Amino acid sequence: MNVSATNIILHSLNYNDEGVLNCKMREGELPISASIEQLVMDLHRTYQSKSNKAFAYFAEEGEKSQLFQRALKEELNGELDFVSFSQQAATCLVNELKDHDFAEEGILLVSKYTWTTSNYLLVALLQNNQSISVNENLELQVSQHIETSKIQLVARIDLTLLERDPEANRYISFIKGRVGRKVSDFFLDFMGAKEGFDAKAQNQGLMKAVEEFCEKQEMPTEKKQEVREVTFNYCKDQIKEGQDIDLSNLSKEFESTANLEGSFYDFVSEDYQLEENFPADKTLVRKLTKYVGSGGGMSISFDQKHLGTSIKYDEASDTLTITGLPTNLREQLKRDALMNSSEHVIAIDQEDDGKAPF
C-alpha cells in the first residue's frame, strides 16, 4: 500500500562557531512531487522496519511539556497553519536540545501523510551527508543527500487514533534506545510525551499463551508446530499491512487453518492480561518458528521443525548435532579444510633439510 504525503517542511539545525545551536526555518511548505512522495515512502518503510519501537502518549504535566501539544491541537483544528506549527515544533526541539546539552544537529523533517486508513505526523531529525560523484564531464562533484536508511531520532503520531481515542496510551511511537536512557528520549520530552503501552510485553504474553494453549490441548509435536506457524504467518501479515494483532481474528485463524476445537480467544481471556489489539513485534514473532541464539563468536538460527530430525540436542553434553548442512556452509567448510591441509603440507616441506630420505 502506498503512502500519500499531504504536508512536508524542512528546517535546519546547526551549531555556529561559538557553539550555539541555531535553527534556520523554512517559510513555506515543500510542494508535493514525485520525489517528495518517494522520500516520505522511504522514511515510512525504514521506520516500519525498525523492531525497537516503543509507544507513548501526551502527558499533562507543566506548561513547557504542553507547548508542542497545544500547537498540534491548533493545527489539527485549523487554528494554526502547518508551517507555523512546524516552526513552533522546531523551537520546542531546539530548547529541549539546549536543556539536555545534546550536540545534535541535522535536518528537521515534519510531515503529515496517509497510509492504509490512518493519518500520521512524522517528526524526524535527519542527517544531511556529503557524497562524491562523477558528472558527465568526468569531473568530481560534491553533493548533499539525506540518509533515509539509518534514521534513529524520529517519532510518529497516529493522528487518527489520537482523534478517535485521546485517552489511549499508544498513539505516539518512537525508536527506543536499546540500553538505558538514550538521546532519542528527548524526542519524547520535546513533545511532552510519556512512554505508555508496552508492545513487547504484550507480544511476550501472546507467545506464552500460544505455547500454554498447545499444552492444554495436549497437541502432538506436529500440531504444535502448525499452530506456531499459523500465529507467525498471521502476525507477519499484520505487520506487512500495518495492522494490529487482533486476538479474536487470530483465534478464528486457529479454528479455520489449524482445525482446532478449543477457542484460543476464550483461553487467553481467562488468565492473560492481553489487550484485544496490539502491534506485533517482529523480533519476538520470529521466535515462534525459529530457535535463535548468539554469543562467544557464534550465531545459530534454525527452524523449530528441524529439532528432533536433522538437528538433535543433547542436554547432557550441551551439543547440537546437525545432519545435512546448508550447501553454502558446506562449501565454505570444505574450502577452508583444503586450505588448512595445503598449509600443513607446506609447513612440513619447509622443515625438510633437503636430503633424500634414503
Q: How confident is the model at residue 348 (pLDDT cuts 50, 70, 90)?
A: low
* Closest C-alpha among 51, 56, 49 to residue 190: 56
Would you say 147 and 131 are in contact if contact means Cβ atoms under 8 Å apart?
A: no
% of the chain surpassing 90 pLDDT: 33
pLDDT value of position 357: 44
Whether 147 shows a pLDDT value over 70: the answer reads yes
* SS3 state at 262: coil
* SS3 state at 53: strand
3-state secondary structure 65-99: HHHHHHHHHHHHCCCCCHHHHHHHHHHHHHHHHHH
Using N-to-C axis directions, what is the helix angle for 82-100 and 67-76, rounded to 10°? Answer: 170
Residue 142, judged by CB atoms within 10 A of its CB (0-12, 13-18, 19+), counts as exposed
User: Cβ contacts of residue 29 below 8 Å, gap of 6+?
Assistant: 7, 8, 9, 82, 83
Integer Cα distance of 346 and 358 in angstroms:
21
Pairing of strands 298-303, 128-134: unpaired
3-state secondary structure 145-199: EECCCCCCCEEEEEHHHHHHCCCCCCCEEEECCCCCCCCCHHHHHHHCEEECCCH
Would you say 23 and 91 are in contact if contact means Cβ atoms under 8 Å apart?
A: yes
Domain range summary for the chain, segments of one domain joined by +: 4-132+140-197, 200-286
| Per-residue pLDDT tens over the stretch 295-340 | 878 888 888 778 778 888 888 888 888 888 888 888 888 888 777 7
C-alpha distances (whole Å) from 358 to each of 149, 187, 346, 348, 354 are 68, 81, 21, 18, 12
| Per-residue pLDDT tens over the stretch 259-284 | 677 789 999 888 788 888 888 888 88
109 vs 216, higher pLDDT = 109
DSSP letter at 248 equals H
pLDDT value of position 2: 81
Cell numbers found for residue 77: 483544528
pLDDT value of position 317: 87
Whether 63 shows a pLDDT value over 70: the answer reads no
Cell numbers found for residue 138: 568526468
Beta bridge partners of 311: 307, 322
The mean pLDDT of 169-187, rounded to a whole number, is 73
pLDDT value of position 51: 75
Cell numbers found for residue 158: 497516529
Integer Cα distance of 313 and 307 in angstroms:
8
